[in-house]
Structure 1
Amino acid sequence: MATFTAFDGTVLTVVGAASPDPVICVPGGPMQASAYLDGLGSLRLDLRGTGDSAVPADVASYRCERQADDLEALRVHLGLEALSLLAHSAGAAIAVHYAARFPERVARLTLVTPSPRAVGIEVTDDDRRAIAVQRRDEPWFPAAFAALERIWAGAPADDDWAAITPFVYGRWDAGTAAHAAEGERRTNRTAAAAYYSGDFLVGSGLDRVTAAVLVVGGELDIQLPPAHAARYAALFPNGSLALAPRAGHFPWLDDPGWFAATAGVTLKGIRG
């Protein structure tokens, strides 16, 4: 574990063993501590206000586009010409803002089930429904799908957001239930509320990213259905798409072997 100083003086933590060409993992949530990415890359960044990183003085600095400056500070701290980045879910917003602003500083970029919000790709309720109904034979489906329908209708019950959690995973069992509960405990809700505030859209610059960009999607991911994952990959001149079979929003949990081979990372201590 090491620390470095961000653009505004906030002390941030990066966890893992340094190497000549590290893969920097950027967590999602948004604003979840990076511990859930343990084993995916060389180094993982605890975003400001999460994990072992300090809480910033300015709440507005939680905005995703401003946290791109934290990646640049990390690059300088590591003494690297360019970064190899692996960003998951909402963490992709930080990574693509960084890539758009500093395209020459990106060696390669892997976006794992990235949230489409920062790039303006809209996923409709009908898009999500088409993915969700593919799970109709699973025992938890009736209750979870009913909760989804109430949410889409704008009249959710108090526990409906928790009830739809099984849709996030390619399989739902005691292990993934524990993973979901731990993720909730690791999330900074104040930071999450500010993450997509202000002008968070990447307006331009992705067409200048010449590095290889891999979008890893899940066939069963209702947050980024396969067709939308393909649109995301097409935003980059050297973008490509890989779909994890029968996987949800955490494809490395659903098929670690497939994920390691496809994303080009060595997974440590992760089993399906």
Structure 2
Amino acid sequence: MSTTITEHRYTADDGAELGYLRRGSGEPLVCLPGGPGADVRYLGGLGGLDEHRSLVLVDQRATGRSPVPEDRSRCRYTAQAHDLEALRRHLGLERLDLLAHSAACLTAQEYTAAHPGRVRRLILVTPVGVLAREADEAEVAEIRSRHVDEPWYPAAVAAQEELAAGGVDPERVGELTLRTVPFVWGRWREEYLALYREPMRGAPDWYRDVFYSGAPAPDERDARLARLAACGARPLVLAGGGDGIIGTAPARQAAELHPGSRLVVLPDAGHRLWHEEPKAFTGEVLAHLRS
């Protein structure tokens, strides 16, 4: 049976008409996509969550059905937390159940701190960090090295090293990035390439830098951390033990920051848990939503 997906719009506080999709039925679960800048459709039904909840799949600024703002700073993760509050009002909800993936976990945590009491349940899926992209590069390298005998490994490592060195011709960035895609999954399959390729095609080349520019200056870091820790979110934090993109360190950091949180690491999964471990993923999320 096919799932009905409908398109919707809401008005942000600057007057922009932003988009979101509705998928499934039941109580709303607002879902934020990562990337940053990925089309939200890559989340799909989140491993079957759409059979239990109505997924509100949010288009970030300048992605999907949401327009590119004249002021690019509206794409900072801190600014997009304001869009989330406008969406809450549009949906007529007193409190949100909120799920965020990857980079969007920054937006979700900022929103929870900026609007105390507006989040009922928070789920952070393979977060990149709590204030910025905060991977433990040694851990990520160790996870990647587990695939040393895979035929795709040499090309993926070479592409990653070239990208990390910088100065790459913009026309080659997409090609090199696609070579590194096997690191997204704990157990690589060729059909996963299409799952990665399509969502990122429309992302502006400037999006990533602007999104992460919402991170605090070094002298503001401690105050921002204290503010996040005091928000009372008590999230479920999910990580993949085979995540060759961000590893598990940011998830552990998020769980340590938020008192009363629960950390679950699915040992063999990568960065998109709902693809590789749908039963375990949905089970953990639904249990948290019902708690």
Q: TM tier, shorter chain?
A: 0.7 to 0.9
Mean Cα deviation higher: 171-180 or 143-152: 143-152
Could you say which residue in structure 1 is the equivalent of 2:238? 216
Could you say which residue in structure 1 is the equivalent of 2:34? 28
Could you say which residue in structure 2 is the equivalent of 1:44? 57
Could you say which residue in structure 2 is the equivalent of 1:232? 254
SS in 1 for 2:117: helix
- Report how many aligned residue pairs link the two structures: 264
After superposition, the C-alpha distances for 1:98-120 in whole angstroms (9 at most, x for unaligned) are 0111131110111111111x425
Structure 2 spans left out of the alignment, 5+ residues? 1-6
Could you say which residue in structure 1 is the equivalent of 2:68? 55
Distance 1:160 1:49 in 2: 23
After superposition, the C-alpha distances for 1:195-252 in whole angstroms (9 at most, x for unaligned) are 1125456443222232430111011113332244212211101211111231111111
> Does residue 7 of structure 1 match 2:13?
yes
**TM-score, scaled relative to structure 2:** 0.81
Distance 2:80 2:207 in 1: 12
Distance 1:62 1:155 in 2: 24
Q: 1:155 to 1:57 in 2, by over 3 A?
A: closer
Distance 2:91 2:111 in 1: 16
Distance 1:105 1:68 in 2: 12
Q: 1:232 to 1:262 in 2, by over 3 A?
A: same
Distance 1:210 1:181 in 2: 37
Contact 1:217 1:224 in 2 (8 A): no
Which amino acid in structure 2 is aligned with residue 135 of structure 1?
H
Cα offset, 1:194, TM superposition? 1.5
Distance 1:239 1:128 in 2: 24
2:113 paired residue among 100, 105, 108: 100
Which amino acid in structure 1 is aligned with residue 261 of structure 2?
G
1:195 paired residue among 201, 205, 211: 211
Which amino acid in structure 2 is aligned with residue 75 of structure 1?
R
> Does residue 248 of structure 1 match 2:261?
no
Q: 1:64 to 1:198 in 2, by over 3 A?
A: closer
Contact 1:14 1:44 in 2 (8 A): yes
Cα offset, 1:55, TM superposition? 2.8
Structure 1 spans left out of the alignment, 5+ residues? 266-272
1:123 paired residue among 128, 135, 143: 135
SS in 2 for 1:233: helix
2:157 paired residue among 138, 145, 163: 145
Cα offset, 1:20, TM superposition? 6.7
After superposition, the C-alpha distances for 1:70-127 in whole angstroms (9 at most, x for unaligned) are 11011111111111111011111111110111131110111111111x4257324322
Mean Cα deviation higher: 130-139 or 195-204: 195-204
Distance 1:22 1:46 in 2: 16
Q: 1:189 to 1:121 in 2, by over 3 A?
A: closer
Mean Cα deviation higher: 129-138 or 60-69: 129-138
RMSD, matched Cα: 2.5
**TM-score, scaled relative to structure 1:** 0.87
Q: 1:155 to 1:78 in 2, by over 3 A?
A: closer
Contact 1:234 1:240 in 2 (8 A): no
State, as a whole percentage, how many aligned pairs show the same letter.
Answer: 39
After superposition, the C-alpha distances for 1:119-142 in whole angstroms (9 at most, x for unaligned) are 257324322211111122322123
